[in-house]
Chains A and B, each alone.
Chain A
């Protein structure tokens, strides 16, 4: 018995599978099974605990409605804006904090990173109070001081968008900065030295050495930022908990939540989920191809 076990564990063929099995099991139970199940449910009408009825493409047909378009639009704009902020600004943070001349690096690094540790809901509640619509709310009171009209932040499409993007940026910039810092520190110092000897200025060094060598990190952050953008939920939920007037803040995942869990229409919710999956896959594939991630395989 012991011998058999030992030979099993030492066998080059079997042992690797045993070692990866915890991951495989978790993957199958918590990822593969729900995914397949969602796919199946997206073709069904779920009526009760165990009763479901196949309805063909009915759920997918329902996708062609104005709310889904609104959600799609909001998500796409939101993703775009977060990318515009989340790629360049953390790189600048990282470059500054990596330079030898900046004082109090640890302090700045810590204070930029700390928001990443807060919960989006807790931070969001603070944002909501700061951006309240009365004249006495923090941001409006500041606006009034500098002579601008107070805003109803949560009741306008673009102000609402601004709040979501701002909250997400505030929370995520620190993590992205850490990625870039790690990337920067792996760039050999000699490159900068030789560039300097050749007469390259600070901007040239940034443009010709730092950015090209950071490319893999940028691609990585871009990929997760796109994914994060499309699957956004918390930022919207915390601002418009009870309802979203005029679909302000309605994102695809919120639409899933609304249809599946609030309206009890699991089938339609699953169909939206599958649509979201396809969408994110396509966007990410295009982006990865654009950056030449598949070139090696073609060569």
Chain B
């Protein structure tokens, strides 16, 4: 069988999974060929292969940002309800909904992607800020001012060629880009949040537009690693980026829930994701399904997802397993999953539909850039403009 992915970490995970499978199922060994492509390129290739009817792999990792492009028209992915439904009660259900259409599930994710704040303990200590006292975004701004005064460093940085922390910040308040009723990108809540982000940069001066534009750029890794900012608002899956790309921060990073805007807000939001799917072109659909369930749905697999990928697994009944309860040296020697367990019922996922890719592209390429970096539009104008464009595509 063949498998396409766009992330080297996933590749290693699948490679090991096949080894384990072959040990346990000597009667039905799998010869899995794994191809790793760059993110954009893989999705384009896959879409073309599915459209033209030849050349698609048996199994493919599909980034959530692109997933709903694959659910348009005549869907070329295999329905996975029969392997998912028996296990569903042990899982964070909203993480399956994002890969579904009309009640049918087409992909299985790796992680919850619970958004948290990563504090650089060293800088916070220098500024004399107790991070446990930061409960609201107002507290966060006050703490930021202390950090700025004491160290001259900004509290955080916002992505300007991507969409964090704007998206988790609105999702924690129950808002989103889209809803079942249509485009809500320019609603009151969102304008308020984006305005607050703008103020953090230009009024309170505790935040900066992110060097390198987004949290995946080499420039940002170097900047963060050198202690450029005191904290970062990102999902849990970013832990792996810390340990792989920012070795100098070992022991200095503490993970805490997101502050809230007002009482009743959630303290997290489930962001990002990779849906692993089986294509209809596969000649071994049944075997692929068994393998996928083995790789993503079992308890053992979810423990391994944590151990090997440092993702927060979607199967919550493993969160208190001993393997996940080990303290982590890199992250201040704390038991990170206790933070997550505390947040278990406060993790909402965004709403996805066919407009999702377009909506995200607009926020990433237009709204953040225009409102936060270039300042050629106010937060309200930028959001209204993007929302109008989305509505015109909606028909």
Contact A262 B44 (CB under 8 A): yes
Chain B residues near A132 (CB-CB < 8 A): 218-219
Binds B, one of A102-110, A244-252, A282-290: A244-252
Chain A residues near B103 (CB-CB < 8 A): none
User: Chain A, 57-72, contact with B by CB distance < 8 Å: what is the 0/1 string?
Assistant: 0000000011000000
The CA-CA distance from A65 to B358 in the complex, in Å, is 14
- Residue A119 is within 8 A (CB to CB) of chain B in the complex: no
The CA-CA distance from A242 to B392 in the complex, in Å, is 24
Chain A residues near B214 (CB-CB < 8 A): 242
Q: Of B73, B212, B370, which contacts A47 at CB under 8 A? A: B73
Chain A residues near B261 (CB-CB < 8 A): none
The CA-CA distance from A49 to B162 in the complex, in Å, is 32
The CA-CA distance from A48 to B74 in the complex, in Å, is 5
Contact A47 B40 (CB under 8 A): no
- Residue B160 is within 8 A (CB to CB) of chain A in the complex: yes
CB distance from B285 to the nearest CB of A (A): 17
Given A49-B76, A261-B47, A246 and B211 contact (CB-CB distance below 8 Å) = no
- Residue B66 is within 8 A (CB to CB) of chain A in the complex: yes
- Residue B11 is within 8 A (CB to CB) of chain A in the complex: no
The CA-CA distance from A154 to B368 in the complex, in Å, is 15
CB distance from A253 to the nearest CB of B (A): 13
**Interface residue tally on A, bucketed by range:** 20 to 34
Contact B357 A155 (CB under 8 A): no
The CA-CA distance from A47 to B47 in the complex, in Å, is 13
- Residue B102 is within 8 A (CB to CB) of chain A in the complex: no
CB distance from B379 to the nearest CB of A (A): 15
The CA-CA distance from A194 to B160 in the complex, in Å, is 65
The CA-CA distance from A262 to B357 in the complex, in Å, is 9
- Residue A88 is within 8 A (CB to CB) of chain B in the complex: no
The number of residues on chain B lying at the interface, defined by a beta carbon within 8 Å of a beta carbon of chain A, is: 42
Chain A residues near B47 (CB-CB < 8 A): 261-262, 264
Chain A residues near B52 (CB-CB < 8 A): 49
Given A65-B389, A262-B43, A262-B47, A245 and B213 contact (CB-CB distance below 8 Å) = yes
CB distance from B315 to the nearest CB of A (A): 30
Chain B residues near A261 (CB-CB < 8 A): 44, 47-48
Contact A244 B48 (CB under 8 A): no
Chain B residues near A257 (CB-CB < 8 A): 44
The CA-CA distance from A134 to B224 in the complex, in Å, is 13
Contact B51 A246 (CB under 8 A): no
The CA-CA distance from A27 to B328 in the complex, in Å, is 63
The CA-CA distance from A134 to B219 in the complex, in Å, is 7
CB distance from B371 to the nearest CB of A (A): 11
User: Chain A, 233-246, contact with B by CB distance < 8 Å: what is the 0/1 string?
Assistant: 00000000111111
Q: Of A65, A242, A262, which contacts B161 at CB under 8 A? A: A242
Chain B residues near A49 (CB-CB < 8 A): 51-53, 74, 76
Chain A residues near B43 (CB-CB < 8 A): 262
The CA-CA distance from A247 to B367 in the complex, in Å, is 11
- Residue B126 is within 8 A (CB to CB) of chain A in the complex: no
- Residue B15 is within 8 A (CB to CB) of chain A in the complex: no
- Residue B346 is within 8 A (CB to CB) of chain A in the complex: no
Chain B CB within 10 A, most for which of A245, A263, A266: A245
- Residue B94 is within 8 A (CB to CB) of chain A in the complex: no
Chain A residues near B366 (CB-CB < 8 A): 245-247
Given A261-B44, A261-B47, A262-B43, A243 and B162 contact (CB-CB distance below 8 Å) = yes
Chain A CB within 10 A, most for which of B51, B52, B66: B51
Chain B residues near A155 (CB-CB < 8 A): 160-161, 213, 369, 373
Contact B161 A243 (CB under 8 A): yes
Chain A residues near B307 (CB-CB < 8 A): none
The CA-CA distance from A28 to B208 in the complex, in Å, is 56
Within 8 A of A (CB), among B239-264: none
Contact A245 B69 (CB under 8 A): no
Contact A246 B365 (CB under 8 A): yes
User: Chain A, 37-55, contact with B by CB distance < 8 Å: what is the 0/1 string?
Assistant: 0000000001111010000
The CA-CA distance from A262 to B74 in the complex, in Å, is 16
Contact A262 B365 (CB under 8 A): no
Chain B residues near A264 (CB-CB < 8 A): 47, 51, 69-70, 72-73
Contact B38 A241 (CB under 8 A): yes
The CA-CA distance from A97 to B216 in the complex, in Å, is 46
User: Chain B, 197-227, contact with A by CB distance < 8 Å: what is the 0/1 string?
Assistant: 0000000000000011110101100110000
Chain B CB within 10 A, most for which of A46, A47, A133, A264: A264
Chain A residues near B53 (CB-CB < 8 A): 49
Chain A residues near B38 (CB-CB < 8 A): 241
21 cross-chain CB contacts under 8 A: A47-B72, A48-B76, A132-B219, A133-B211, A155-B160, A155-B213, A243-B162, A245-B160, A245-B213, A245-B365, A245-B366, A245-B368, A246-B365, A246-B374, A261-B44, A261-B47, A262-B44, A262-B66, A262-B69, A263-B357, A264-B51
A interface residues, Cβ below 8 angstroms from B: 46-49, 51, 65-66, 132-134, 154-155, 241-247, 257, 261-264, 266
Q: A46-B73, A47-B73, A66-B389 are in contact. List 6 more A-B contacts (CB 8 A).
A: A48-B73, A154-B213, A155-B373, A241-B38, A243-B161, A262-B69
| Nearest 9 Cβ contacts at the A-B interface | A48-B74, A47-B73, A245-B369, A48-B73, A261-B44, A264-B69, A246-B369, A245-B161, A243-B365
